[in-house]
Amino acid sequence: MIKLKTRTDTLTTAQKRKVVDATIKWCNNKFGVNNRRKNKLTYSVIVQTPKIVKIMNAEAMGMFNPKANKLIVFHNNTDNVMEMVQTTIHEYTHYLQPIAKYYNFFNKNYGYRDNPFEVQAFGNEKYYKKCWKSIKGSL
């Protein structure tokens, strides 16, 4: 049985994908869908390689690529299922935001932690318990 404290390194790839998929579906219901995007949201659950770290200039638990409309969770940087759920909620929040247009401006003027998009995304992570309560039976 998968629990919030289950270490992600003990899960199969299929189990990790199932957690992320269920979390995204929960986010669809809780936060809605971004109808401004032409393509359907896709996602990957992958390892953040040194090449990706270099491109991003940081280690990260996840990212949202607005050009590809793709949410990515780097499972090797999440210690447990709770962090994987929180990361998915965080990145889903970015999917809803107009980050392609304003993210860099806010980062430059406010810094990462005070960037209004990041403040909202970190704030939404608090819903992980409600999300988990809803999805755990399907895992």
**CATH of region 8-138, choose from 3.40.50, 3.30.2010, 1.20.5, 3.30.420:** 3.30.2010
Residue 52 confidence class, pLDDT cut points 50, 70, 90: confident
pTM of the model: 0.94
DSSP label at residue 11: S
- Do residues 139 and 18 make contact, with C-beta atoms less than 8 angstroms apart? yes
Give residue 129's pLDDT. Answer: 97
Give residue 131's pLDDT. Answer: 98
Q: What percent of the chain has pLDDT over 90?
A: 78
Query: What 3-state class would DSSP assign to 43?
Result: strand
Query: What 3-state class would DSSP assign to 28?
Result: helix
What are the structure tokens assigned to 139, written together? 């895992």
Residue 60 confidence class, pLDDT cut points 50, 70, 90: confident
Mean pLDDT, the chain, rounded, equals: 92
Sign of CA dihedral 107, 111, 117, 122: positive
Torsion of CA 69, 88, 76, 70, to 10 degrees: 0
Residue 57 confidence class, pLDDT cut points 50, 70, 90: low
**Which tens digit of pLDDT belongs to each residue from 6-44?**
999 999 999 999 999 999 999 999 999 998 888 889 999
Domain residue ranges of the chain, discontinuous segments joined by +: 8-138
